[in-house]
Amino acid sequence: MNDAPAADRPNAQEFEAYLDAIRRLVAEKLIPAEPSLDGQETLPEDLTSRLRDAGLFGISIPTRHGGLGLSMEQQVRVMFEVTRASSVYRARFSTTIGLGSQPILYNGTEAQRQEWLPRMASGEVTAAFCLTEPENGSDAGGLRTSARREGDHFILNGTKRYITNARQAQVFIVMARTDPNSRDAAGISAFIVPAGTPGLRCGPADTKMGQDGPATSEVYFDDVRVPAANLIGGREGGGFKTAMRGINHARLHVAVTCVGQAQRLIEEALAYALHRKQFGQPLAEFQLVQAMLADSRAETLAARSMVLETARAFDAAGEAQGPLVADIACCKLFASEMVSRVADRAVQIHGGAGYMRGTAVERLYRDVRLFRIFEGASQIQQLLIARDMIKGAARWV
């Protein structure tokens, strides 16, 4: 359902002009404002408006639903640029472009698409994606939030944890168990729950290691009555597959983010190494420092190449994304581990300055640690990749 026909997408010239505008936004507004985000619980409205005005909430939504209708390759190229700035900016709209909109785009009814996608694309509506629970993180298929049918409504009860943008969201995509006798993913359904529905409440903002700006929080569902028309796709039991549409998109975008952040870390480390002198010469002249810079560049290029190739395969696959799940997991695994190494080297090159609050690499170091944990921790990606190899062993041996 990545259904923007090629003719609806910006042509090559229009796309390059758009990329240039994004580069200017990053250099002139987003990077300079980064220090002001320290300790913030929300991204200030003037910066959110800039993301909205740049169309970033709509990059993954087809033009017929009000978005820019970019191909995955184009989305990736835009996000390489955006994520040279703090990944906090990306977090403000990522839950809408991936986890929020893609389940509705691919698996929703036409009425659900018409109701929600145009407002998501414009950034009027922020979506939050509610899968993780206090007792179920990696084992998301075992989630406990229940959705009990009562006539033409469902009644939702349960608690979700670490939900990004929950406190800003106008709509929640909620995974809940509709089959009380099931214990696995087969009994899960996905619901659209508007903010303000009685019984839906967010907890206080979590205090995090990094990613100051968009808050995460718990979300509580106490007898929340949701019309059956809000069941995504109108069918019970397909919720986990629906969630995977968003998660696949999000995992590839996390990999892109790791590349953008690594690029930025290299720029910061190189600039510092060129100007800081020890033993009478710039750090960049020392071969041991050069090795750290070179390894970081090589690994970033490797991740960038993986992501671009997988994005092209994603575009070619259209509806049939199933075979790409393991390749997307490879991108997420490699890129998130890679950016942690690059961040560690960037701090090392900065010496004591890299350990001090207020230095860009110190903030980036804390921010990128997240990418090995959420959207499926590295160990879960490894399991996914290996299971795919074992299932398709004939292809490998």
User: Which of residues 159 and 348 has its CB atom nearest to ligand FAD in the complex?
Assistant: 159
Residues facing 163 on adjacent strands: 217
Using rule CB under 6 A, residue 130 touches ligand FAD = yes
Residue (of 334, 298, 171, 175) closest to 240 by Cα position: 175
Catalytic residue among 133, 218, 268, 375: 375
User: Which of residues 10 and 142 has its CB atom nearest to ligand FAD in the complex?
Assistant: 142
User: 21-54 burial, b for 16+ CB within 10 Å, e for fewer?
Assistant: ebeebbeebbbebbeebeeeebbeeebbebbbeb
Residue 178: CB minimum distance to ligand FAD, A: 18
Q: How far is CA 170 from CA 33, 120, 137, 173, 200, in A?
A: 26, 10, 24, 10, 12
Using rule CB under 6 A, residue 162 touches ligand FAD = yes
Give the Cα separation of 90 and 69 in Å (integer). 18
Residue 114: CB minimum distance to ligand FAD, A: 25
Residue 355: CB minimum distance to ligand FAD, A: 22
Query: What tokens does 215 get?
Result: 């808050």
Binding segment for ligand FAD among 100-108, 125-133, 224-232, 277-285 (CB under 6 A)?
125-133
Residue 36: CB minimum distance to ligand FAD, A: 20
Site for ligand FAD in 194-233 (CB under 6 A): 208, 211, 216
Known catalytic residue: 375? yes
CB 118 within 8 A of CB 65: yes
CB 96 within 8 A of CB 120: yes
Using rule CB under 6 A, residue 278 touches ligand FAD = no
Q: Which residues contact 278 (CB under 8 A, 6 or more apart)?
A: none
- Please identify which residue in 131, 258, 283, 364 interacts with ligand FAD, judged by CB under 6 A: 131
Binding segment for ligand FAD among 109-117, 160-168, 252-260, 278-286 (CB under 6 A)?
160-168
Q: Is 4 left (phi over 0), alpha (psi -120 to 50) or beta?
A: beta
Using rule CB under 6 A, residue 374 touches ligand FAD = yes
User: Which of residues 250 and 292 has its CB atom nearest to ligand FAD in the complex?
Assistant: 250
Q: Which residues contact 256 (CB under 8 A, 6 or more apart)?
A: 75, 76, 79, 80, 83, 307, 335
- Please identify which residue in 69, 103, 137, 239 interacts with ligand FAD, judged by CB under 6 A: 137
Taking residues 36 to 75 in sequence order and writing x for each that binds ligand FAD by CB under 6 A, - otherwise, the string is: ----------------------------------------
Binding segment for ligand FAD among 27-35, 61-69, 358-366, 374-382 (CB under 6 A)?
374-382
Give the Cα separation of 126 and 202 in Å (integer). 15
The one-letter amino acid at 152: D
Residues annotated as part of the active site: 375
For ligand FAD, the binding residues (CB under 6 A) are 95, 129-132, 137-138, 162-164, 208, 211, 216, 370, 373-375, 377, 379-380, 383
